[in-house]
Structure 1
Amino acid sequence: MSCTKKDLSPRSELLQPPTNAHLQAISIVDENTTWISGHDATFVLTKDAGKSWELFTHPTGDSLQFRDVHGFDDEKAILMTAGSGPLSRIFTFTVPDQWEENFVMEDSLGFLDCIDFWDDQKGIAYGDAIDNYPYILLTSDGGKTWNRADSTNMPKAGKGEGGFAASGTCVTTGENGKAWIATGAGGNCRFLITEDYGQSWKEVDSPLVTGDAAGNTSVSFIGDVGVVTGGDLLVADDYTDNCAFSIDGGKTWNLSGEPQTTGAFYGSAITKIENQTFAFASGPNGIDYTTDLGQTWITLDSTNYWAISIKGNIGYASGPAGKILKISLQP
């Protein structure tokens, strides 16, 4: 007698919000520990898989917008704020209330969009272009100091090119020094790819829609399989070319089938469990997922979620008014 494992499918549970702040970046450390950051200088932490949340705020008040977060463990995280000039900052936070300011944007035209880390020392931040080259920051000491990447080995920036600071996922890191930056805006739409921890970069075109407020918004990888989401942020109730997949580490991309949810997607996530790959796209009109690399899509939720993150078989989505949705991949 033989037995066959049942395929997994996503189940969702709306959690009790710990805050009314707009939550728009998620960092899953492990199955129990997750950090979620947002507006009003607010961020939250769970140590018990979402059953309860600790609420934190920056002591200077609610002017800061924590558009991205990277948790190292259940006590320490790096937080990035977005905004013009000095409103773009990077902090180290240690529970319960220890702050260290690591970076302040000096250029008034600067605007940070997202951060990620390869390990507990090497990290990367990306922001809108302020000159002829992409604005990329690197750290090799756990976020204590940040320096702009050498422009010698990178393509020039397009006019008005940058990232969308909507879900904390316009840059994602991979194994062995790989990282992918998803760019857009100003008619630009491409990927910046490194394989040596940001020392050199190459560009790859994206098939997503272009426009003043269009392009790539989010990129996620599991191994060499990646998903990019985006669209035209000015088109809320119609379809544009807003999702694509790569199976060769980002060298080539192919548009997916048409999602069920209309409008632009702000966030993406991808995970693989045994022989099943799940990719998710989240945005103001809802969350869709696919199990066949975008050939077909299924709607998981039809309300507003800007950010989504999956690690293993556990994930979260977050959005306005402190909304947090827990996602579990179950038989």
Structure 2
Amino acid sequence: MKYLFVLTSILLLTDCSIKQVEPTIEPLDSPTESLLQAISIVDENTTWISGHDATFVRTRDAGESWELFNHPTGDSLQFRDVHGFNENKVVLMSAGPGSLSRIFTFIEPNEWEENFVMQDSLGFLDCIDFWDDQRGIAYGDAIDDYPYILLTSDGGKSWIRADSTNMPKAGKGEGGFAASGTCVTTGENGEAWIATGAGGNCRFLITKDYGQSWMEVNSPLVSGEAAGNTSVSFIGDTGVVTGGDLLIADEYTDNCAFSKDGGATWDLSNQPQTRGAFYGSTITNIDGQIFAFACGPKGLDYTSDFGKTWTTLDTLNYWALSMKGDFGYASGTDGKILRISLQP
């Protein structure tokens, strides 16, 4: 009996020491009503979020207040991705057919530099990301039978198209969904993952050498003319991909999967609570526990068991997600900004 008592005491003490972490959400005051669809967290205080109408916003006080910025040429640009280097410098990607796809550098208070303009009328940029303060990558819809991948080695000042010699050919109509700025994500030691879709295509392009060579891995998500992968997020070798069929708004499709081996293999998750396609995803690790979040026009869900079970956090229209440790943000239509916190 005494051993049972000791064992019971140990179990009770162990249970008491386990911190139960659950996400909480807080709507924040936004300075705009424009669609906000890409998020870049610099640190616990500074975050940049970009969107339509040539609009982007910044917080330097962990979301307590937000400052509004606009490109000086007007509201025709759609800033569908953003990467913040610090509280003063940011790279912005505008999306659209042909010359509407551009990459800019902005340095406060009002220094603008246009770094790239799409010359091909069939071109369409979808997303960007950076490995560090010099090396970065941009992805767009396929041109000339190959994936359209741009690389920079000078912090975004200049961009060159990646050599197609060491990459698989593109599928007909293959590209990305410029919905959340997360169809490409970078990792450590030159790793990056591109999530493709459209035209019946649905796969990953993976590099381990800063974009010099690429391999392909099939995705288990639904494919179709307006379907496939929309967003991919990794922390170490653990990743989540979301997507779906953008033409099926009120039904469930195979729209979320997880990888535990750096993207070599993927397993479909169970059905989320939110229906329709997901536009954005993010993943984070809190004391060894993995949390993944997915959002779309019908709402925001999360899972802490690799998609075995899902919980809905909100039912409003969100396009983008980003987590950094135990905090992050979601953004969407009508200038919505939501702070997400993971606290015991």
* Correspondence 1:242-257 to 2 at 5 A: 242-257=255-270
TM-score w.r.t. the length of structure 1 is: 0.99
Aligned to 1:157: 170
Alignment of 1:131 onto 2:144: yes
**Separation (CA, whole Å) in 1 of partners of 2:19 and 2:265:** 32
The Cα of 1:5 is off from its aligned counterpart by 3.3
User: Structure 1 CA distance, aligned partners of 2:18 and 2:252?
Assistant: 36
Task: Report the AA paired with residue 100 of structure 1.
Answer: E
Q: Secondary structure at the match of 1:86?
A: helix
Distance in 2, Cα, partners of 1:262 & 1:279 = 17
1:280 matches 2:280: no
Verify: 1:209 aligned to 2:222, yes or no: yes
1:194 aligns with 2:207: yes
Q: CA deviation at 1:18?
A: 1.0
What does residue 330 of structure 1 align with? Answer: 343
Partner of residue 294 from structure 1, selected from 297, 307, 310: 307
Give the 3-state SS of the residue equivalent to 2:142 in structure 1: coil
Please state which structure has a larger fraction of its residues in helix.
Answer: 2
Structure 1 position 44 matched with structure 2 position 57: yes
Taking the aligned partners of 2:189 and 2:288, their CA distance within structure 1 comes to: 23
Identify the residue that residue 72 of structure 1 maps to in structure 2: 85
1:223 and 2:223 equivalent?
no
The structure that has the greater radius of gyration is 2
Report the CA distance between 1:276 and its aligned residue: 1.0
Runs of 5+ in structure 2 lacking a partner? Answer: 1-8
Aligned equivalent of 2:4: none
Residue deviations 1:71-91 (CA, integer Å, cap 9, x gap): 001000100000000000000
Q: Distance in 2 between matches of 1:240 and 1:39?
A: 28
Partner of 1:303: 316
Distance 2:91 2:224 in 1: 32
Whether 2:331 is the aligned partner of 1:318: answer: yes
1:6 CA displacement = 1.6
Q: How does 1:23-38 map to 2 (within 5 A)?
A: 23-38=36-51
Match of 1:11 in 2: 24
Query: Secondary structure at 1:306's aligned position in 2?
Result: strand
Name the CA distance, whole Å, in 2 between partners of 1:273 and 1:223.
13
Residue 90 of structure 1 is matched in structure 2 by 103
User: Structure 1 runs of 4+ off > 6 angstroms?
Assistant: none
Match of 1:240 in 2: 253
Q: Output the CA distance in 2 between the equivalents of 1:88 and 1:162.
A: 14
Q: Which amino acid aligns with 2:96?
A: G
Deviations 1:203-262 (A, max 9, x none): 000000000000000000000000000000000000000000000000000100000000
| Aligned residue pair count | 331
Letter paired with 2:314: D
Distance 2:18 2:112 in 1: 47
Residues 176-200 of structure 1 deviation map (CA, whole Å, 9 limit, x = unaligned): 0000000000000000000000000
Cα shift readout 1:102-152 (whole Å, capped 9, x = no counterpart): 000000000000000000000000000021100000000000000000000
* Secondary structure in 2 matching 1:192: strand
* Runs (5+) with no aligned partner, structure 1: none
Q: Which letter does structure 1 place at the counterpart of 2:271? A: E
Q: Deviations over 1:248-298 (max 9, x none)?
A: 000000100000000000000000011211000000000000000111111
Q: Do residues 60 (structure 1) and 98 (structure 2) align?
A: no
- Any idea what SS the aligned residue of 1:61 has? coil
Q: Percent of pairs identical after alignment?
A: 78
AA aligned to 2:93 is M
1:298 partner letter: T
CA distance in 2, matches of 1:131, 1:8: 48
Q: What is residue 183 of structure 2 aligned with on the other side?
A: 170
Query: What is the CA-CA distance between 1:327 and the residue it aligns to?
Result: 0.3
